Chains A and B, each alone.
Chain A
Amino acid sequence: MVAVENITQLIQEKARELLSSGQVELVIGYQRASDGVTARPAFVRKAEDAGKLIFDQTCTHNLGKYAIEHRGKSLAIVAKACDTFGINVLIQEKQIVREKTYVIGINCPGVVESSFGETGDRLQYRCQICQEHAPAVFDYIVGDPILEKPLDFDPYAKVKELEALPQEERIAFWEKHFDRCIRCYACRNACPQCYCTECVVEQIDPNWVGAPIQVPEKQIFHVIRAFHLAGRCIGCNECERVCPVGIPLSLLNMKFSLEVEQQFGYKPGRDPEVCAPLATYQPDEDLGIGG
């Protein structure tokens, strides 16, 4: 793993400073998990507790989720490069207030694959394809800038492989994976871009999607979830990480990312001033549909 001790130290110092000066009331960062090797979210309210904050390559969580939960408070949040894209989306969608959110941005070396009690050197796939290691929005930046290297493979290779399969195989692929879904909603709840107070798949009146945990309901949930993230998903891939039954959710989200990039040349969260593709239009565009 890349040495990141100095990042931990800088985060702790900054948290101490922000809390003792009263500039923020809460610092959302990472601490060591109960397994002693991975990380988990930390909520620090007192300067003297700042020492529990850490950063290393197991800090996979996208903490933007908690910024919404604590909206209205002045808070500081530790954010990796991709997490800052998510923060931008939240600012753009007026879910959080930029002025009240102190972003401790990290020049991110990428995070590794880990599970409870286990970690290693292998970067998560989202980090293998990452070409933007620097935060897009921050008030304070830590970590050495990372030299961006062009990829020697297509980041969308997995999506394209699946696209190229015959229709029957694609159908079988998704039915096999959706079959395992238990509708625990961890994917949705881990996503900082999923913040509706009442999700359409759980809404009772009208009851669009029934409660049965069966393939039709699961399919509708996954398709709608992915669609609602079209042009908003910043690729942190927390949904796939938290899925207890290993559904390749990134292949759903990345399909939309690919389409959005190809059709609208848009990547979410890079600039909060640029309107999201499904919230705008060009009167005379040709999208190969409508006629």
Chain B
Amino acid sequence: MDIITRESLKRWLTTLMDRYQVMAPVLAEGNHLFRAISSTDEIAWDYYNSVVPPKELIFPLTESLFTLEYQNGVPQIQEPVIDRQTVIFGLRPCDARAIAMLDASFMNDPVDVPYARRRALVTLVGWACVRPESPCFCVNIGGAPNGTQGLDVLMTEGTDGYFVEPVTEKGKAVLEGAELKHTDAVPPEPAALPAFSTEGLTERLPEVFLSPMWQQQVEACISCKICTFLCPTCYCFDVRDRRDGEAVERMRCWDSCQGAHFSKIAGGYNPRATKTARWKQFFYHKYLYYPERFGGVIACVGCARCVRKCPVNIDIREVIQDLKEDISA
């Protein structure tokens, strides 16, 4: 395996900035977030994980789909230009795996062109988690703190620098010019996480759809959108117009199934009028609907952002445990 010293790594990133826009975790007023950097000094080298997942770099909170303007009375549609080569540096394997899950949905026919355009320009250089901590649970849901799925390059911090593992051709290309040295050492193994099993959950979810358990689980929910907006695999959006005189811009913005109006149709009928129904939608989408559509993969990567940030401590791990008891009872 190859290794790169921390100094060489910084030099490599600095030279990358000529060709690529480099996004990395930074500390913004006490919050770790992915932002474009102009110097490697801005990188939060000691971060655990970002508050907002790096999905926001490929699937922005708000993006323009097109503008429509009238030229001599003739309507003209223009799409925004997306042409910036970008390296996302330092994302965690769970978030990279989540991006692979977004790919499955957005790249599925018909291809979501705005997403695909961005995605094609992005190279993902990940950092393995050497010291993952509970409530993270990637290992219990098909991932690993040093997993490579979705990544182009995986780096693992060792004592003498970073172990570098190119995963894809794109990854090899981005590493060109990096001062890599061969080493016989092996990357450190990540610390163990508490284990629990999600086996058989998807198959049995349909049986418990009407269980009263859901209402109890979600009783404290305040219907905010933290769990969905901070979820690296959530990708619901809203499409809205903005008018300026005769010109119109159509944009899409993140939206969340937790909002009361999410599924309400004009005329007032709301198929998911209760917070229990809405939270169930969140859970079922991850653990049943997505897997049914995309080859059995559960759309949760165990990053535990929803667990850490839920204002009222609704703990998805606990829900899974309770469900198993409910199913077996």
Contacts and interface: CB of A to CB of B under 8 A. Distances in A.
Nearest to A239: B311
Contact of A41 (B223, B238, B312): B312
A51 B254 CA distance: 41
16 contacts: A35-B135, A40-B220, A180-B33, A182-B52, A182-B225, A189-B224, A189-B311, A190-B222, A210-B240, A211-B240, A212-B240, A241-B311, A244-B229, A244-B230, A245-B33, A245-B52
B205 interface: no
A198 B194 CA distance: 42
A186 B310 CA distance: 9
Nearest to B225: A184
B61 to A, nearest CB: 4
B2 interface: no
B293 interface: no
Nearest to A176: B29
A66 B254 CA distance: 27
Chain B at the A interface: SS class: loop
A202 B259 CA distance: 10
A202 B29 CA distance: 28
A57 B6 CA distance: 43
A43 interface: yes
A98 to B, nearest CB: 24
Interface string B240-252: 1010000000010
Contacts of B242: 210, 212
Main secondary structure of the interface of A (DSSP, over half): loop
Interface size range on A against B: 35 or more
A239 to B, nearest CB: 10
Contact of A213 (B219, B253, B259, B307): B253
Contacts of B255: 211
A204 B261 contact: yes
Nearest to B253: A211
Given A38-B313, A43-B219, A246 B30 contact: yes
A170 B211 CA distance: 51
A218 B242 CA distance: 16
B253 A212 contact: yes
Contacts of B311: 61, 186, 189-190, 238, 241-242
B229 A184 contact: yes
B285 interface: no
B240 A33 contact: no
Interface of A: 33-35, 38, 40-43, 61, 65-66, 115-117, 176-177, 180, 182-186, 188-190, 202, 204, 210-214, 238, 241-242, 244-246
Given A184-B226, A204-B261, A242-B224, A34 B317 contact: yes
Given A34-B313, A189-B311, 15 more contacts: A43-B219, A43-B220, A65-B222, A116-B313, A180-B28, A186-B311, A189-B222, A210-B240, A212-B240, A212-B242, A212-B253, A241-B311, A244-B51, A244-B229, A244-B230
A41 B254 contact: no
Given A41-B312, A116-B313, A190-B224, A213 B61 contact: yes
A210 to B, nearest CB: 6
Contacts of A116: 135, 307-309, 313
Contact of B61 (A41, A182, A185, A188): A182
Given A182-B254, A186-B225, A246 B220 contact: no
A47 to B, nearest CB: 17
Interface residues of B, number: 40
Contacts of A43: 216, 219-220
Q: Which of A176, A204, A212, A238 has the most CB of B within 10 A?
A: A212
B62 interface: yes
B223 A189 contact: yes
Nearest to A214: B62
B224 A185 contact: yes
Nearest to A70: B219
A116 B226 CA distance: 14
B31 interface: yes
Contact of A185 (B29, B134, B225): B225
B42 interface: no
Nearest to B134: A117
B264 to A, nearest CB: 9
B292 interface: no
A213 B312 contact: no
B112 interface: no
Interface in B126-150: 134-135
B31 A213 contact: no
Contacts of A41: 219-220, 312
Contacts of B29: 176-177, 180, 246
B219 A244 contact: no
B230 to A, nearest CB: 6
Nearest to B237: A211
A190 B226 CA distance: 12
Contacts of A176: 29
A150 B223 CA distance: 39
A244 B238 CA distance: 21
A44 to B, nearest CB: 11
B315 interface: yes
A117 B61 CA distance: 29
B318 interface: yes
Contact of B261 (A202, A214, A245): A202
A206 to B, nearest CB: 13
User: Which among A41, A186, A210 has the greatest number of chain B C-beta atoms within 10 A?
Assistant: A186
Nearest to A188: B224
B229 A117 contact: no
A61 B135 contact: no
Contacts of A177: 29
